[in-house]
Chain A
């Protein structure tokens, strides 16, 4: 398996623009997580899905952020409108059901909002 695939790897956008980050989890994994990594706040869980259903979005910072998982092989994280403070590395991770399983991370998307 190719692992968790995220696109784009790097995104530079202007403040106010819409940004969409994409993630393809590992086939057969039931859980998908979106994390944001910054120097100040470390790795924050934004939202996670189980079987394509959002379970906990309490980490989503505000209404400008939204996430969807229309099917088992695709998820998006959208920021609209983007702000400079959204600049961070965004990771997608997936894992199968069952204890003792690590989260498999994608390479991350480095977002810069200018």
Chain B
């Protein structure tokens, strides 16, 4: 069965530093999509970045980049130059077929 694993329940990072949030996935399909979402304390789900399984380049969106290692089935999110507003819950998700499956999330706290 498809599965997303986020092994870091919580992370701290100093403001202006970079941080990596881990995500591994399990699927037997060749075609799939990987997503990261941010959920601030206000509760909404904000889409950050997408990586397709056939994309050869790692996805980047501003300060967010996705370190995609297909052979290892990992899709880590890298946030560069952390800001206080980055403090939130971060979810890794996979679209396998029609469904979006989410990991348990990592709570990131950015320290001033």
Contact = CB atoms under 8 A, between A and B. Distances in A.
Contacts of B56: none
Contact of B44 (A48, A100, A108): A108
B60 interface: no
A107 B50 CA distance: 21
Interface in A59-111: 89, 91, 93, 99-100, 102-105, 107-108, 110
Contacts, number: 48
Interface residues of B, number: 21
Interface secondary structure of A, over-half rule: strand
Interface secondary structure of B, over-half rule: strand
Nearest to B52: A100
14 contacts: A33-B99, A42-B102, A45-B100, A45-B101, A48-B98, A56-B99, A89-B43, A93-B45, A99-B33, A100-B52, A102-B50, A103-B47, A108-B44, A110-B43
